[in-house]
Structure 1
Amino acid sequence: MQEIWESIRGWASENLTEFTLTKIYIACAIAGGTVLVGQTGLNLFGLGGDSDIDPDVDVDDLEGGDSLSFLSIRALAGFLTFFGLVGWGGTASGWGAGITIGAAFLAGASVMVFVALMMRFFRRMAMSGTVRPAEAVGLSAQVYLRIPASNSGKGKITVKLQGRSQEFDAVTRGPELPTGSACRIVAMPTEGTFEVEPLE
């Protein structure tokens, strides 16, 4: 009787553990996949975004101030999805529990790192395309719309900034600057408005 009981306990322990792990893998795959599909759908309508759960848990990049955000929603969703898929597939293929868990974790971690790298790449691309008006101070520009003398009104200038021709409001303390004349940007008294002087 004791042998029968031990046999039943051993069978139940082995099979219930496998059944429980399978349910965990499937749940992870469904949860992560749902988030990924949902965010992709939102992005198609311009509503998508990604946020970091804890911005302090970042690995600083050696080249600058940007970082790898491993705890973003997309990175975590990618981890869960591939952890679940690989774990589910490994269990169905008859892999041992230890090997399956290790392979699933490795797959999920690899996807998490890949997603973090891609997000950093897109952040860099966005930053490189952001116009920083303060960098125009000291550059030459051309008057696009007449600038009244002695700070009596605003005109407009065009200046080549970050490889593109940009248009900004401008004022001058000196004489009036007619359309088409050359000038130099000497200051930015307010955001998006430059103080200029004639370029001699």
Structure 2
Amino acid sequence: MSTFFMFCAILGGTILALQLGLTLLGIGGDLGGEGLDLPDLPDGDGADSTVGHDSGGFSDLAKRITFQGVVSFITFFGVGGLAAQGSGVSAPGSLLAAALVGSLATAVLAFAFAGVRKLQGSGSIHMDNAVGEVGRVYLRVPGGNGGVGKVIVPVQGRSEEVRAVTSGPELRPGEAVVVVHAIDDRTLEVVAQSAYVAKTASLAE
């Protein structure tokens, strides 16, 4: 049991330290702030979920779980378990103590990471400056405003991973896109670069 707790503490602690370092450096966008990226689940009629559609149930809950939260729990689950065993607590008691410590620490770190992200977002980066920039699709963007994906675009000299929607055809990972509108400080409207170039050329004729 001690080996298991030690493994959790070392693995989770290493990832958590790297994650915090990257967040402070502003690398990789909004680390730990988004839910786990799960594939779009069809509704009862087999259609893709749409923006603002609340599917509920397990899928909705899973999308609210952050990677930072999972790593935090694993880290302090291990730390709590080791501390309990070091105090002579039985194996079942150690598991309970580990779960309690992991849950409490996860809640505390969630507030800490939220503060870091707030400070990071309070800088001089404005998504309006991304309009006209060429980026790449990171996570599939459903067509016809049928859902939210993610793109990586340059904004004021740095690469940002942001949410994206499109009114055009579906955009696949790796596809080049052009930002046409900043919906808010977290979401951009994009179109395929090929379609944007074609439309621009037709208007110039």
| Higher relative contact order (CA closer than 8 Å, sequence separation 6+) | 2
State TM-score, norm by structure 1: 0.42
Higher Cα Rg, which structure:
1
State TM-score, norm by structure 2: 0.41
